[in-house]
Structure 1
Amino acid sequence: MKIIILDTSCGNLYSLKSTIKKIGFDSKITNNPNNILNANKIFLPGVGSVQSIMKKLKYDNLIKLIKNCKKDILGICLGMQILGKYSEENEGNKTLGILDYSTYLIKNQHLTIPHMGWNKVQNVQKSPLFKNINDNSYFYFSHSYAVNVNNYTISTSFYGKLFSAVIQKENFFGVQFHPEKSGINGIQLIKNFLEI
């Protein structure tokens, strides 16, 4: 199986690569369009700013390729947020526009922002991503922006209000948490994605 981790120059690319290795698969970190087109599974990781990830994808001529992607692709954290059409970050930025949602800044004076640490994830719809993972399992989050619950929401989490923890539309999947930092549940979720 050809597994590609998109080189977004941001995020724990090597941590993700090593988690995939633990499951028994090799993966390649690349922004080479031919490698991406020949992949069976694609990861779109992201940590940092929406501006820098969009700039990098544009520079590498990957925006159209991702939008037209027919292979299974999993956006992680910022990688999930940019599957939507808009982010409030840095006075507003257009994102990939694959899915019809926007990303908003978590605003709550009683809560610490960013939302960091373990939080419960509740399933709204059945998904192959959660095979052999119990409902209300804990995953590791680290984010200041979130996506409202919408038509593509598979699972939710709560931090001041409900937000989308996992989304899916056809071959596009997204998780707001970091599966590569989420212990046994995160490993199982990545394994499930690879086996879909």
Structure 2
Amino acid sequence: MAKIVAAAAVSALLMFSGLFPVRAAVAGDAVGEPSARIVEFGVYDVVSSPVDQSGAVSGTANAVRGLRLLQGTDRVPARVGVNFGMRFQLIGSAAAYPIETRVVYPKAMVNPETGRSATVETFGAEIKPGPNYHGFTFEHEWELLPGVWRFQIYSRGRLLLEKAFTVYRPGDQV
């Protein structure tokens, strides 16, 4: 049950199952378009419950009820049970706003039970003003893909924000 975590203010976050330096993309050039900034990133303790997400490689997502940053880092151990991602905030939007979240994997993620695979997973969400969360939970061995993972936030086809994490196997030289 991998989860890519998408947004909605911290009190009602959605986590959909499943980065190098911070790069905040420009957004805000077009009239009415918000920009975005990363509030924090790293490894989190996440309290969540599963929900159906048929479009995900795992077939599930998580509704996040709580989250706490454990370690601010962009280096993540590939270990079942690890949650990582970023909290971000839209700037210039006072109301709920539609976005698209993407996770770009370092290589194809393949679910051996279903044969479903993806190198990029995309999910739509409507987020509220305030801190939002986008991340991933390793729940299966087949999700533990070492390399650079990119978490992206898009609005109307424009990249607003991107954060890269380097996932490594504990014990490997990095």
Higher helix share: 1
State the TM-score, normalizing by the size of structure 1.
Answer: 0.27
Query: Bigger relative contact order, structure 1 or 2, given CA contacts below 8 A and separation 6+?
Result: 2
Q: What TM-score results when the alignment is normalised by the length of structure 2? A: 0.29
Which structure shows the bigger proportion of residues in strand conformation?
2
